[in-house]
């Protein structure tokens, strides 16, 4: 199942820099592991914002929910999820 996910990050301004840097480092390692596994298919930064647009390829809504909740930055995110389905006019034979 493919999902379009927008993540807007809002780290509190009063969070110590060292703590924020540690969370970001852990987040990067986790997100790269999911990308290597093929679950986090695409990751794009939104210009001028601390936000991203991502495409996830997972087996279920619950799997996506669990992956997102495990993000170290999850407590500081607003997340929007849209399930994706193949469009009948697509000229592509697969989602690869």
Convert the pLDDT of each residue in 33-78 to its tens digit. Answer: 999 999 999 999 999 999 999 999 999 999 999 999 999 999 999 9
The confidence band for 87, taking pLDDT boundaries of 50, 70 and 90, is: confident
The confidence band for 93, taking pLDDT boundaries of 50, 70 and 90, is: confident
Residue 19 backbone class (left: φ over 0; alpha: ψ -120 to 50; beta: rest): alpha
The count of structural domains within the chain is: 1
Query: Would residue 52 count as lying in a domain?
Result: yes
Query: Would residue 10 count as lying in a domain?
Result: yes
Statement: the pTM of the whole predicted model exceeds 0.75: yes
Query: Would residue 96 count as lying in a domain?
Result: no
Query: Would residue 93 count as lying in a domain?
Result: no
What CATH number is given to the structural domain containing 34?
A: 3.30.70.1060
* Predicted local distance difference test score (pLDDT) of residue 92: 85
Query: Would residue 65 count as lying in a domain?
Result: yes
Owning domain of residue 63:
2-84
Query: Would residue 23 count as lying in a domain?
Result: yes
Q: Report the DSSP beta bridge partners of residue 8.
A: 51, 78
SS3 77: strand
* Predicted local distance difference test score (pLDDT) of residue 86: 86
């Amino acid at each position: 199942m493919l999902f379009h996910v927008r993540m807007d990050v809002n780290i509190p301004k009063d969070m110590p820099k060292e703590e924020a840097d540690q969370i970001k480092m852990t987040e990067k390692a986790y997100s790269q592991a999911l990308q290597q596994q093929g679950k986090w298919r695409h990751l794009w930064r939104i210009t001028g914002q601390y936000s991203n647009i991502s495409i996830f390829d997972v087996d279920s809504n619950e799997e996506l929910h669990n992956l997102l909740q495990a993000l170290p930055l999850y407590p500081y995110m607003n997340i929007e999820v849209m399930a994706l389905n193949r469009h009948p006019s697509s000229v592509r034979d697969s989602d690869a």
